[in-house]
Structure 1
Protein backbone atom coordinates (compact mmCIF):
# COMPACT_ATOMS: atom_id res chain seq x y z
CA UNK A 1 0.00 0.00 0.00
CA UNK A 2 1.34 3.44 -0.88
CA UNK A 3 0.09 7.02 -0.98
CA UNK A 4 -0.75 7.00 -4.70
CA UNK A 5 -3.03 3.98 -4.22
CA UNK A 6 -4.82 5.65 -1.31
CA UNK A 7 -5.30 8.86 -3.29
CA UNK A 8 -6.57 6.86 -6.27
CA UNK A 9 -9.15 5.14 -4.04
CA UNK A 10 -10.22 8.44 -2.47
CA UNK A 11 -10.57 10.11 -5.88
CA UNK A 12 -12.61 7.27 -7.40
CA UNK A 13 -14.87 7.39 -4.37
CA UNK A 14 -15.29 11.18 -4.70
CA UNK A 15 -15.71 11.28 -8.50
CA UNK A 16 -17.94 8.24 -8.80
CA UNK A 17 -16.23 6.58 -11.76
CA UNK A 18 -12.73 5.37 -12.65
CA UNK A 19 -12.79 7.53 -15.79
CA UNK A 20 -13.51 10.78 -13.96
CA UNK A 21 -10.93 9.93 -11.28
CA UNK A 22 -8.31 9.32 -13.98
CA UNK A 23 -9.17 12.65 -15.60
CA UNK A 24 -8.90 14.53 -12.31
CA UNK A 25 -5.55 12.95 -11.43
CA UNK A 26 -4.28 13.29 -15.02
CA UNK A 27 -3.69 9.54 -15.35
CA UNK A 28 -4.75 6.97 -17.90
CA UNK A 29 -7.82 5.05 -16.73
CA UNK A 30 -5.79 1.84 -16.80
CA UNK A 31 -3.36 3.34 -14.28
CA UNK A 32 -6.18 4.06 -11.83
CA UNK A 33 -7.61 0.57 -12.37
CA UNK A 34 -4.23 -1.04 -11.67
CA UNK A 35 -3.70 1.06 -8.55
CA UNK A 36 -7.08 -0.02 -7.16
CA UNK A 37 -6.35 -3.66 -8.04
CA UNK A 38 -3.02 -3.52 -6.20
CA UNK A 39 -4.70 -1.94 -3.18
CA UNK A 40 -7.42 -4.60 -3.16
CA UNK A 41 -4.80 -7.36 -3.44
CA UNK A 42 -2.76 -5.94 -0.55
CA UNK A 43 -5.86 -5.58 1.63
CA UNK A 44 -7.43 -8.85 0.55
CA UNK A 45 -10.70 -7.01 -0.06
CA UNK A 46 -12.91 -6.01 -2.97
CA UNK A 47 -13.43 -2.28 -2.61
CA UNK A 48 -15.65 -1.45 -5.60
CA UNK A 49 -18.36 -3.25 -7.52
CA UNK A 50 -17.24 -3.22 -11.15
CA UNK A 51 -20.02 -1.42 -13.04
CA UNK A 52 -20.42 1.94 -14.76
CA UNK A 53 -20.63 3.75 -11.42
CA UNK A 54 -17.80 2.89 -9.03
CA UNK A 55 -20.01 1.75 -6.16
CA UNK A 56 -18.35 0.86 -2.87
CA UNK A 57 -18.74 -2.65 -1.49
CA UNK A 58 -19.50 -2.98 2.25
CA UNK A 59 -15.78 -3.56 2.83
CA UNK A 60 -15.02 -0.52 0.67
CA UNK A 61 -17.37 1.59 2.75
CA UNK A 62 -15.58 0.60 5.94
CA UNK A 63 -12.20 1.33 4.35
CA UNK A 64 -13.48 4.70 3.06
CA UNK A 65 -14.15 5.79 6.65
CA UNK A 66 -10.43 5.49 7.35
CA UNK A 67 -8.82 6.59 4.09
CA UNK A 68 -8.67 10.33 4.86
CA UNK A 69 -6.85 9.64 8.11
CA UNK A 70 -4.50 7.19 6.38
CA UNK A 71 -3.58 9.77 3.75
CA UNK A 72 -2.96 12.47 6.34
CA UNK A 73 -0.87 10.05 8.41
CA UNK A 74 1.16 9.05 5.35
CA UNK A 75 1.90 12.70 4.60
CA UNK A 76 2.74 13.29 8.25
CA UNK A 77 5.29 10.48 8.18
CA UNK A 78 6.75 11.99 5.02
CA UNK A 79 7.07 15.35 6.76
CA UNK A 80 8.85 13.74 9.69
CA UNK A 81 11.30 12.10 7.27
CA UNK A 82 12.01 15.49 5.70
CA UNK A 83 12.65 17.01 9.11
CA UNK A 84 15.25 14.31 9.79
CA UNK A 85 17.17 15.48 6.73
CA UNK A 86 19.79 18.22 6.96
CA UNK A 87 17.25 21.01 6.57
CA UNK A 88 13.48 20.97 6.64
CA UNK A 89 12.05 21.44 3.15
CA UNK A 90 8.59 21.34 1.63
CA UNK A 91 5.66 23.55 0.76
CA UNK A 92 3.18 25.37 3.00
CA UNK A 93 -0.21 26.14 1.44
CA UNK A 94 -1.61 29.20 3.18
CA UNK A 95 -4.86 31.08 2.70
CA UNK A 96 -5.14 34.72 3.77
CA UNK A 97 -7.62 37.57 3.48
CA UNK A 98 -6.72 40.35 1.05
CA UNK A 99 -6.07 42.98 3.71
CA UNK A 100 -3.85 40.68 5.79
CA UNK A 101 -2.01 39.50 2.67
CA UNK A 102 -0.94 43.10 2.18
CA UNK A 103 -0.44 44.28 5.74
CA UNK A 104 0.81 41.37 7.83
CA UNK A 105 1.77 38.26 5.88
CA UNK A 106 4.94 39.58 4.16
CA UNK A 107 6.50 40.43 7.54
CA UNK A 108 5.52 37.04 8.97
CA UNK A 109 7.02 35.20 5.98
CA UNK A 110 10.19 37.28 6.21
CA UNK A 111 10.70 36.33 9.86
CA UNK A 112 9.92 32.66 9.26
CA UNK A 113 12.33 32.54 6.32
CA UNK A 114 15.22 33.50 8.59
CA UNK A 115 15.33 30.01 10.11
CA UNK A 116 13.38 27.96 7.53
CA UNK A 117 14.85 29.20 4.23
CA UNK A 118 14.17 25.99 2.27
CA UNK A 119 10.39 26.08 2.64
CA UNK A 120 8.33 27.23 -0.32
CA UNK A 121 4.84 28.74 -0.15
CA UNK A 122 1.62 28.60 -2.10
CA UNK A 123 -0.48 31.58 -1.00
CA UNK A 124 -4.20 31.87 -1.78
CA UNK A 125 -5.87 35.27 -1.27
CA UNK A 126 -9.62 35.66 -0.87
CA UNK A 127 -12.43 36.43 1.54
CA UNK A 128 -13.08 34.22 4.55
CA UNK A 129 -15.88 32.18 2.95
CA UNK A 130 -13.71 31.39 -0.07
CA UNK A 131 -10.78 30.39 2.13
CA UNK A 132 -13.01 28.06 4.14
CA UNK A 133 -14.03 26.36 0.90
CA UNK A 134 -10.34 25.98 0.03
CA UNK A 135 -9.73 24.36 3.42
CA UNK A 136 -12.65 22.01 2.87
CA UNK A 137 -11.25 21.02 -0.54
CA UNK A 138 -7.72 20.67 0.93
CA UNK A 139 -6.32 23.28 -1.45
CA UNK A 140 -4.76 25.00 1.58
CA UNK A 141 -3.82 23.65 5.00
CA UNK A 142 -4.54 26.73 7.13
CA UNK A 143 -6.08 30.17 6.70
CA UNK A 144 -5.69 33.58 8.29
CA UNK A 145 -9.29 34.78 8.17
CA UNK A 146 -12.51 35.30 10.12
CA UNK A 147 -14.04 32.54 12.21
CA UNK A 148 -16.14 29.89 10.48
CA UNK A 149 -19.84 29.56 11.23
CA UNK A 150 -19.36 25.80 10.85
CA UNK A 151 -17.45 25.72 14.12
CA UNK A 152 -17.66 21.92 14.45
CA UNK A 153 -15.59 21.51 11.24
CA UNK A 154 -12.80 23.92 12.13
CA UNK A 155 -10.53 25.00 14.95
CA UNK A 156 -10.26 28.79 15.19
CA UNK A 157 -7.68 30.71 17.20
CA UNK A 158 -8.46 34.45 17.33
CA UNK A 159 -5.48 36.78 16.92
CA UNK A 160 -6.85 40.25 16.41
CA UNK A 161 -10.15 42.10 16.38
CA UNK A 162 -10.92 43.64 13.01
CA UNK A 163 -12.90 46.88 12.98
CA UNK A 164 -14.48 48.59 9.99
CA UNK A 165 -13.42 51.94 8.54
CA UNK A 166 -14.84 54.61 6.25
CA UNK A 167 -12.50 55.81 3.48
CA UNK A 168 -13.39 59.36 2.39
CA UNK A 169 -11.58 61.02 -0.55
CA UNK A 170 -10.08 64.48 -0.07
CA UNK A 171 -12.56 66.11 -2.46
CA UNK A 172 -15.64 64.62 -0.76
CA UNK A 173 -18.05 66.86 1.15
CA UNK A 174 -17.48 64.81 4.35
CA UNK A 175 -13.68 64.74 4.09
CA UNK A 176 -13.11 67.23 6.92
CA UNK A 177 -15.62 65.83 9.41
CA UNK A 178 -14.57 64.15 12.64
CA UNK A 179 -17.35 61.53 12.63
CA UNK A 180 -20.11 60.33 10.31
CA UNK A 181 -23.52 58.93 11.24
CA UNK A 182 -25.51 56.17 9.55
CA UNK A 183 -28.07 58.83 8.51
CA UNK A 184 -25.34 60.76 6.69
CA UNK A 185 -24.07 57.64 4.95
CA UNK A 186 -27.53 56.98 3.52
CA UNK A 187 -27.17 60.16 1.44
CA UNK A 188 -24.00 59.02 -0.32
CA UNK A 189 -22.73 56.34 -2.68
CA UNK A 190 -21.00 53.57 -0.68
CA UNK A 191 -18.25 51.39 -2.19
CA UNK A 192 -17.98 48.05 -0.40
CA UNK A 193 -16.71 44.47 -0.75
CA UNK A 194 -18.82 41.66 -2.15
CA UNK A 195 -21.74 40.13 -0.26
CA UNK A 196 -19.70 37.05 0.76
CA UNK A 197 -17.28 39.25 2.73
CA UNK A 198 -18.00 38.77 6.42
CA UNK A 199 -17.43 42.43 7.25
CA UNK A 200 -20.13 43.42 4.75
CA UNK A 201 -22.66 41.39 6.73
CA UNK A 202 -21.81 43.51 9.77
CA UNK A 203 -22.23 46.71 7.75
CA UNK A 204 -25.60 45.63 6.35
CA UNK A 205 -26.74 44.72 9.84
CA UNK A 206 -26.11 48.31 10.97
CA UNK A 207 -28.46 49.62 8.25
CA UNK A 208 -31.36 47.26 8.99
CA UNK A 209 -33.19 49.58 11.38
CA UNK A 210 -33.48 52.28 8.70
CA UNK A 211 -36.25 52.36 6.11
CA UNK A 212 -34.02 53.78 3.41
CA UNK A 213 -31.66 51.30 1.77
CA UNK A 214 -28.03 52.29 1.24
CA UNK A 215 -26.69 52.61 -2.30
CA UNK A 216 -23.87 50.07 -2.58
CA UNK A 217 -21.39 49.59 -5.40
CA UNK A 218 -19.73 46.20 -4.89
CA UNK A 219 -16.10 45.39 -5.71
CA UNK A 220 -14.50 42.03 -4.97
CA UNK A 221 -10.98 43.50 -4.74
CA UNK A 222 -10.83 45.53 -1.55
CA UNK A 223 -7.62 47.35 -2.47
CA UNK A 224 -9.50 49.09 -5.31
CA UNK A 225 -12.21 50.52 -3.06
CA UNK A 226 -10.33 53.77 -2.17
CA UNK A 227 -9.66 54.46 -5.87
CA UNK A 228 -13.29 53.89 -6.83
CA UNK A 229 -14.47 56.04 -3.92
CA UNK A 230 -12.29 58.87 -5.22
CA UNK A 231 -13.28 58.48 -8.87
CA UNK A 232 -17.01 58.15 -8.13
CA UNK A 233 -17.14 60.70 -5.29
CA UNK A 234 -18.29 58.00 -2.90
CA UNK A 235 -17.30 56.64 0.49
CA UNK A 236 -15.41 53.38 0.82
CA UNK A 237 -16.23 50.89 3.58
CA UNK A 238 -13.37 48.50 4.29
CA UNK A 239 -11.79 46.37 7.04
CA UNK A 240 -9.53 48.60 9.12
CA UNK A 241 -6.46 46.52 8.27
CA UNK A 242 -6.58 47.71 4.63
CA UNK A 243 -3.60 49.95 3.89
CA UNK A 244 -4.85 53.35 2.71
CA UNK A 245 -2.98 56.37 1.34
CA UNK A 246 -2.83 59.29 3.77
CA UNK A 247 -4.61 61.56 1.27
CA UNK A 248 -7.88 59.92 2.38
CA UNK A 249 -9.78 60.65 5.57
CA UNK A 250 -10.19 57.44 7.55
CA UNK A 251 -12.99 57.32 10.12
CA UNK A 252 -14.46 54.47 12.16
CA UNK A 253 -17.67 52.99 10.83
CA UNK A 254 -20.47 54.53 12.98
CA UNK A 255 -21.40 51.41 14.89
CA UNK A 256 -18.98 50.34 17.60
CA UNK A 257 -20.65 46.94 18.03
CA UNK A 258 -19.71 45.65 14.59
CA UNK A 259 -16.35 43.89 14.68
CA UNK A 260 -14.85 40.64 13.44
CA UNK A 261 -12.34 38.29 15.02
CA UNK A 262 -9.53 37.37 12.61
CA UNK A 263 -7.18 34.50 13.36
CA UNK A 264 -5.89 31.07 12.40
CA UNK A 265 -8.44 28.65 10.97
CA UNK A 266 -7.58 24.96 10.53
CA UNK A 267 -9.74 21.91 9.79
CA UNK A 268 -10.63 19.98 12.91
CA UNK A 269 -10.59 16.64 11.12
CA UNK A 270 -6.85 16.73 10.40
CA UNK A 271 -5.09 15.00 13.25
CA UNK A 272 -1.55 15.36 11.98
CA UNK A 273 -0.12 18.79 11.19
CA UNK A 274 3.30 18.93 9.61
CA UNK A 275 6.20 20.19 11.68
CA UNK A 276 6.50 23.07 9.21
CA UNK A 277 2.90 24.08 9.75
CA UNK A 278 3.20 23.94 13.52
CA UNK A 279 6.30 26.12 13.41
CA UNK A 280 4.58 28.58 11.09
CA UNK A 281 1.58 28.84 13.40
CA UNK A 282 3.94 29.58 16.28
CA UNK A 283 5.55 32.34 14.21
CA UNK A 284 2.14 33.88 13.49
CA UNK A 285 1.25 33.81 17.19
CA UNK A 286 4.56 35.43 18.11
CA UNK A 287 4.10 38.16 15.49
CA UNK A 288 0.69 39.24 16.77
CA UNK A 289 1.80 38.97 20.39
CA UNK A 290 4.60 41.44 19.60
CA UNK A 291 2.09 43.77 17.92
CA UNK A 292 0.00 43.87 21.08
CA UNK A 293 2.95 44.58 23.35
Structure 2
Protein backbone atom coordinates (compact mmCIF):
# COMPACT_ATOMS: atom_id res chain seq x y z
CA UNK A 1 0.00 0.00 0.00
CA UNK A 2 1.32 3.45 -0.89
CA UNK A 3 0.03 7.00 -0.98
CA UNK A 4 -0.79 6.97 -4.70
CA UNK A 5 -3.05 3.95 -4.21
CA UNK A 6 -4.85 5.61 -1.31
CA UNK A 7 -5.35 8.81 -3.32
CA UNK A 8 -6.61 6.77 -6.28
CA UNK A 9 -9.17 5.06 -4.03
CA UNK A 10 -10.25 8.37 -2.49
CA UNK A 11 -10.64 9.99 -5.93
CA UNK A 12 -12.64 7.10 -7.41
CA UNK A 13 -14.91 7.22 -4.37
CA UNK A 14 -15.46 10.98 -4.73
CA UNK A 15 -15.76 11.13 -8.53
CA UNK A 16 -17.99 8.06 -8.80
CA UNK A 17 -16.28 6.33 -11.74
CA UNK A 18 -12.79 5.12 -12.64
CA UNK A 19 -12.76 7.24 -15.81
CA UNK A 20 -13.60 10.48 -13.95
CA UNK A 21 -10.97 9.69 -11.32
CA UNK A 22 -8.38 9.11 -14.05
CA UNK A 23 -9.28 12.46 -15.62
CA UNK A 24 -9.11 14.21 -12.24
CA UNK A 25 -5.65 12.79 -11.48
CA UNK A 26 -4.43 13.12 -15.08
CA UNK A 27 -3.78 9.38 -15.35
CA UNK A 28 -4.80 6.76 -17.88
CA UNK A 29 -7.84 4.81 -16.71
CA UNK A 30 -5.77 1.61 -16.74
CA UNK A 31 -3.38 3.19 -14.23
CA UNK A 32 -6.22 3.89 -11.80
CA UNK A 33 -7.62 0.38 -12.31
CA UNK A 34 -4.22 -1.20 -11.58
CA UNK A 35 -3.73 0.95 -8.48
CA UNK A 36 -7.10 -0.13 -7.08
CA UNK A 37 -6.35 -3.79 -7.92
CA UNK A 38 -3.02 -3.60 -6.07
CA UNK A 39 -4.70 -2.00 -3.09
CA UNK A 40 -7.42 -4.67 -3.03
CA UNK A 41 -4.78 -7.40 -3.25
CA UNK A 42 -2.77 -5.94 -0.37
CA UNK A 43 -5.88 -5.51 1.80
CA UNK A 44 -7.39 -8.84 0.81
CA UNK A 45 -10.82 -7.30 0.15
CA UNK A 46 -12.86 -6.04 -2.80
CA UNK A 47 -13.38 -2.29 -2.53
CA UNK A 48 -15.67 -1.57 -5.50
CA UNK A 49 -18.36 -3.44 -7.37
CA UNK A 50 -17.30 -3.50 -11.01
CA UNK A 51 -20.10 -1.79 -12.91
CA UNK A 52 -20.54 1.50 -14.80
CA UNK A 53 -20.41 3.48 -11.54
CA UNK A 54 -17.77 2.68 -8.94
CA UNK A 55 -20.02 1.58 -6.08
CA UNK A 56 -18.36 0.73 -2.77
CA UNK A 57 -18.73 -2.76 -1.35
CA UNK A 58 -19.54 -3.03 2.38
CA UNK A 59 -15.82 -3.63 3.03
CA UNK A 60 -15.01 -0.64 0.80
CA UNK A 61 -17.38 1.54 2.81
CA UNK A 62 -15.60 0.62 6.05
CA UNK A 63 -12.22 1.31 4.46
CA UNK A 64 -13.51 4.65 3.11
CA UNK A 65 -14.21 5.80 6.67
CA UNK A 66 -10.49 5.57 7.42
CA UNK A 67 -8.86 6.60 4.15
CA UNK A 68 -8.81 10.37 4.79
CA UNK A 69 -6.91 9.91 8.05
CA UNK A 70 -4.58 7.36 6.42
CA UNK A 71 -3.68 9.90 3.73
CA UNK A 72 -3.22 12.65 6.31
CA UNK A 73 -1.01 10.41 8.43
CA UNK A 74 1.05 9.36 5.41
CA UNK A 75 1.70 12.99 4.49
CA UNK A 76 2.43 13.84 8.11
CA UNK A 77 5.03 11.07 8.35
CA UNK A 78 6.55 12.24 5.08
CA UNK A 79 6.78 15.78 6.41
CA UNK A 80 8.51 14.58 9.57
CA UNK A 81 10.96 12.59 7.46
CA UNK A 82 11.80 15.70 5.44
CA UNK A 83 12.43 17.63 8.62
CA UNK A 84 14.68 14.88 9.99
CA UNK A 85 16.66 15.05 6.77
CA UNK A 86 16.83 18.84 7.17
CA UNK A 87 15.14 19.32 3.81
CA UNK A 88 13.57 22.76 3.67
CA UNK A 89 11.10 21.88 0.92
CA UNK A 90 7.34 21.65 0.66
CA UNK A 91 4.28 23.78 -0.03
CA UNK A 92 2.04 25.66 2.39
CA UNK A 93 -1.51 26.16 1.05
CA UNK A 94 -3.17 29.16 2.72
CA UNK A 95 -6.58 30.75 2.27
CA UNK A 96 -7.14 34.36 3.31
CA UNK A 97 -9.81 37.04 3.04
CA UNK A 98 -9.16 39.87 0.61
CA UNK A 99 -8.64 42.51 3.30
CA UNK A 100 -6.24 40.36 5.33
CA UNK A 101 -4.37 39.40 2.17
CA UNK A 102 -3.62 43.10 1.79
CA UNK A 103 -2.97 44.35 5.31
CA UNK A 104 -1.76 41.35 7.37
CA UNK A 105 -0.58 38.33 5.40
CA UNK A 106 2.48 39.94 3.74
CA UNK A 107 3.90 40.80 7.19
CA UNK A 108 3.22 37.28 8.48
CA UNK A 109 4.83 35.65 5.43
CA UNK A 110 7.85 37.90 5.68
CA UNK A 111 8.46 36.62 9.21
CA UNK A 112 7.71 33.02 8.20
CA UNK A 113 10.34 33.22 5.43
CA UNK A 114 13.00 33.95 8.01
CA UNK A 115 12.49 30.42 9.34
CA UNK A 116 11.52 28.53 6.16
CA UNK A 117 12.99 30.41 3.17
CA UNK A 118 12.60 27.49 0.73
CA UNK A 119 8.97 26.63 1.48
CA UNK A 120 6.61 27.45 -1.39
CA UNK A 121 3.28 29.11 -0.60
CA UNK A 122 0.03 28.81 -2.54
CA UNK A 123 -2.30 31.63 -1.48
CA UNK A 124 -6.02 31.58 -2.22
CA UNK A 125 -7.89 34.86 -1.71
CA UNK A 126 -11.66 34.93 -1.25
CA UNK A 127 -14.54 35.52 1.12
CA UNK A 128 -14.96 33.30 4.18
CA UNK A 129 -17.68 31.02 2.77
CA UNK A 130 -15.53 30.35 -0.31
CA UNK A 131 -12.54 29.52 1.88
CA UNK A 132 -14.68 27.05 3.85
CA UNK A 133 -15.38 25.24 0.57
CA UNK A 134 -11.67 25.25 -0.29
CA UNK A 135 -10.87 23.68 3.08
CA UNK A 136 -13.44 20.94 2.56
CA UNK A 137 -12.07 20.26 -0.93
CA UNK A 138 -8.52 20.20 0.52
CA UNK A 139 -7.39 22.93 -1.86
CA UNK A 140 -6.03 24.73 1.22
CA UNK A 141 -5.11 23.45 4.68
CA UNK A 142 -5.62 26.61 6.72
CA UNK A 143 -7.75 29.73 6.29
CA UNK A 144 -7.51 33.18 7.85
CA UNK A 145 -11.13 34.26 7.76
CA UNK A 146 -14.35 34.62 9.74
CA UNK A 147 -15.76 31.87 11.94
CA UNK A 148 -17.97 29.19 10.39
CA UNK A 149 -21.50 28.32 11.45
CA UNK A 150 -20.58 24.67 10.89
CA UNK A 151 -18.70 24.15 14.14
CA UNK A 152 -18.96 20.36 13.78
CA UNK A 153 -16.79 20.59 10.64
CA UNK A 154 -14.37 23.38 11.53
CA UNK A 155 -12.27 24.51 14.45
CA UNK A 156 -11.78 28.25 14.86
CA UNK A 157 -9.26 30.31 16.82
CA UNK A 158 -10.25 34.02 16.96
CA UNK A 159 -7.41 36.49 16.57
CA UNK A 160 -8.95 39.90 15.82
CA UNK A 161 -12.23 41.68 15.26
CA UNK A 162 -13.23 43.14 11.93
CA UNK A 163 -15.61 46.11 11.95
CA UNK A 164 -17.63 47.48 9.04
CA UNK A 165 -17.24 50.92 7.46
CA UNK A 166 -19.31 53.17 5.25
CA UNK A 167 -17.20 54.76 2.48
CA UNK A 168 -18.49 58.00 0.96
CA UNK A 169 -16.77 59.75 -1.98
CA UNK A 170 -16.00 63.48 -1.80
CA UNK A 171 -18.72 64.50 -4.25
CA UNK A 172 -21.56 62.76 -2.42
CA UNK A 173 -24.24 64.66 -0.46
CA UNK A 174 -23.21 62.83 2.76
CA UNK A 175 -19.48 63.41 2.31
CA UNK A 176 -19.32 65.97 5.15
CA UNK A 177 -21.48 63.97 7.57
CA UNK A 178 -20.04 63.03 10.96
CA UNK A 179 -22.32 60.02 11.30
CA UNK A 180 -24.79 58.19 9.12
CA UNK A 181 -28.03 56.39 9.99
CA UNK A 182 -29.75 53.32 8.56
CA UNK A 183 -32.58 55.58 7.31
CA UNK A 184 -30.08 57.70 5.40
CA UNK A 185 -28.42 54.63 3.88
CA UNK A 186 -31.80 53.32 2.72
CA UNK A 187 -32.21 56.46 0.65
CA UNK A 188 -29.07 55.79 -1.42
CA UNK A 189 -27.62 53.17 -3.73
CA UNK A 190 -25.09 51.02 -1.86
CA UNK A 191 -22.15 49.01 -3.21
CA UNK A 192 -21.22 45.95 -1.16
CA UNK A 193 -19.55 42.54 -1.35
CA UNK A 194 -21.36 39.49 -2.69
CA UNK A 195 -24.20 37.84 -0.79
CA UNK A 196 -22.03 35.05 0.67
CA UNK A 197 -19.64 37.52 2.35
CA UNK A 198 -19.92 37.24 6.13
CA UNK A 199 -19.74 41.01 6.64
CA UNK A 200 -22.59 41.54 4.17
CA UNK A 201 -24.76 39.19 6.24
CA UNK A 202 -24.12 41.49 9.21
CA UNK A 203 -25.14 44.49 7.13
CA UNK A 204 -28.33 42.83 5.89
CA UNK A 205 -29.36 42.01 9.46
CA UNK A 206 -29.29 45.72 10.26
CA UNK A 207 -31.89 46.37 7.55
CA UNK A 208 -34.24 43.53 8.52
CA UNK A 209 -36.44 45.60 10.85
CA UNK A 210 -37.03 48.30 8.22
CA UNK A 211 -39.90 48.10 5.79
CA UNK A 212 -37.88 49.59 2.94
CA UNK A 213 -35.24 47.34 1.41
CA UNK A 214 -31.77 48.62 0.49
CA UNK A 215 -30.69 48.79 -3.15
CA UNK A 216 -27.36 47.01 -3.58
CA UNK A 217 -24.81 46.83 -6.34
CA UNK A 218 -22.64 43.79 -5.65
CA UNK A 219 -18.91 43.40 -6.31
CA UNK A 220 -16.95 40.24 -5.55
CA UNK A 221 -13.68 42.20 -5.39
CA UNK A 222 -13.84 44.37 -2.29
CA UNK A 223 -10.86 46.54 -3.24
CA UNK A 224 -12.86 47.91 -6.19
CA UNK A 225 -15.79 49.12 -4.07
CA UNK A 226 -14.29 52.56 -3.24
CA UNK A 227 -13.45 53.12 -6.91
CA UNK A 228 -16.97 52.25 -8.04
CA UNK A 229 -18.45 54.37 -5.24
CA UNK A 230 -16.46 57.34 -6.51
CA UNK A 231 -17.21 56.78 -10.18
CA UNK A 232 -20.95 56.30 -9.56
CA UNK A 233 -21.08 58.85 -6.70
CA UNK A 234 -22.72 56.33 -4.36
CA UNK A 235 -21.94 54.80 -0.96
CA UNK A 236 -19.73 51.78 -0.42
CA UNK A 237 -19.86 49.38 2.54
CA UNK A 238 -16.63 47.51 3.27
CA UNK A 239 -14.69 45.75 6.05
CA UNK A 240 -12.81 48.41 7.99
CA UNK A 241 -9.40 46.83 7.37
CA UNK A 242 -9.73 47.45 3.62
CA UNK A 243 -7.16 50.02 2.49
CA UNK A 244 -8.83 53.16 1.18
CA UNK A 245 -7.05 56.14 -0.39
CA UNK A 246 -7.55 59.65 0.94
CA UNK A 247 -10.44 61.61 -0.50
CA UNK A 248 -13.18 59.45 0.96
CA UNK A 249 -15.16 59.89 4.16
CA UNK A 250 -15.02 56.70 6.23
CA UNK A 251 -17.70 56.29 8.91
CA UNK A 252 -18.66 53.37 11.16
CA UNK A 253 -21.59 51.32 9.92
CA UNK A 254 -24.52 52.48 12.15
CA UNK A 255 -25.28 49.42 14.29
CA UNK A 256 -24.17 48.64 17.82
CA UNK A 257 -22.59 45.30 16.93
CA UNK A 258 -20.90 45.56 13.56
CA UNK A 259 -17.96 43.28 14.32
CA UNK A 260 -16.88 39.90 13.00
CA UNK A 261 -14.36 37.61 14.64
CA UNK A 262 -11.52 36.77 12.24
CA UNK A 263 -8.96 34.08 12.91
CA UNK A 264 -7.61 30.64 12.03
CA UNK A 265 -10.10 28.20 10.51
CA UNK A 266 -9.22 24.53 10.00
CA UNK A 267 -11.04 21.29 9.28
CA UNK A 268 -11.61 19.19 12.38
CA UNK A 269 -11.00 16.07 10.32
CA UNK A 270 -7.44 17.22 9.55
CA UNK A 271 -6.02 15.38 12.51
CA UNK A 272 -2.39 15.72 11.49
CA UNK A 273 -0.86 19.15 10.90
CA UNK A 274 2.56 19.32 9.32
CA UNK A 275 5.42 20.96 11.15
CA UNK A 276 5.44 23.64 8.45
CA UNK A 277 1.78 24.43 9.07
CA UNK A 278 2.24 24.47 12.83
CA UNK A 279 5.10 26.94 12.48
CA UNK A 280 3.00 29.18 10.22
CA UNK A 281 0.14 29.15 12.74
CA UNK A 282 2.58 30.14 15.48
CA UNK A 283 3.79 33.06 13.35
CA UNK A 284 0.18 34.19 12.84
CA UNK A 285 -0.46 34.07 16.59
CA UNK A 286 2.72 36.00 17.36
CA UNK A 287 1.89 38.65 14.79
CA UNK A 288 -1.50 39.45 16.33
CA UNK A 289 -0.22 39.11 19.89
CA UNK A 290 2.42 41.77 19.23
CA UNK A 291 0.14 44.24 17.41
- TM-score bracket for the superposition, by shorter chain length: over 0.9
**Which 4+ runs in 1 deviate beyond 4 A?**
none
Listed one character per residue, the Cα deviations across residues 73-95 of structure 1 (whole Å, up to 9, x for unaligned) are 00001110111122432100000
Partners in 1 of 2:260 and 2:186 — Cα distance?
23
Quote the residue 2:123 is aligned against. Answer: 123
Deviation at 1:249, TM superposition (A): 1.0
Quote the residue 2:44 is aligned against. Answer: 44
Quote the residue 2:2 is aligned against. Answer: 2
Partners in 1 of 2:13 and 2:206 — Cα distance?
45
Deviation at 1:190, TM superposition (A): 0.8
Partners in 1 of 2:227 and 2:19 — Cα distance?
48
Deviation at 1:256, TM superposition (A): 2.1
Quote the residue 1:16 is aligned against. Answer: 16
Listed one character per residue, the Cα deviations across residues 162-212 of structure 1 (whole Å, up to 9, x for unaligned) are 110011111111111111111111121111111110111111111111111
Quote the residue 1:281 is aligned against. Answer: 281
Q: SS at the partner of 1:211?
A: coil
Say whether the 8 Å CA contact 1:87–1:118 is kept in structure 2.
no
Quote the residue 2:108 is aligned against. Answer: 108
Listed one character per residue, the Cα deviations across residues 106-159 of structure 1 (whole Å, up to 9, x for unaligned) are 111011101110111000000000000000000000100000110110000001
Quote the residue 1:290 is aligned against. Answer: 290
TM-score by length of 2: 0.98
Note if 1:88 corresponds to 2:91.
Answer: no
Quote the residue 2:215 is aligned against. Answer: 215
Say whether the 8 Å CA contact 1:191–1:225 is kept in structure 2.
yes
Say whether the 8 Å CA contact 1:161–1:260 is kept in structure 2.
yes
Partners in 2 of 1:193 and 1:60 — Cα distance?
43
TM-score by length of 1: 0.97
Partners in 2 of 1:189 and 1:14 — Cα distance?
44
Q: Please, which runs of 5 or more residues in structure 2 have no aligned partner?
A: none
Equivalences for residues 265-276 of structure 1 within 5 A: 265-276=265-276
Note if 1:257 corresponds to 2:243.
Answer: no
State the superposition RMSD in angstroms. 0.9
- Go from structure 1 to structure 2 and tell me whether the alpha carbon gap of 1:237 and 1:76 turns closer, same or farther (over 3 Å shift): same
Aligned positions, number: 291
Partners in 1 of 2:159 and 2:234 — Cα distance?
32
Quote the residue 1:79 is aligned against. Answer: 79
- Go from structure 1 to structure 2 and tell me whether the alpha carbon gap of 1:53 and 1:87 turns closer, same or farther (over 3 Å shift): closer
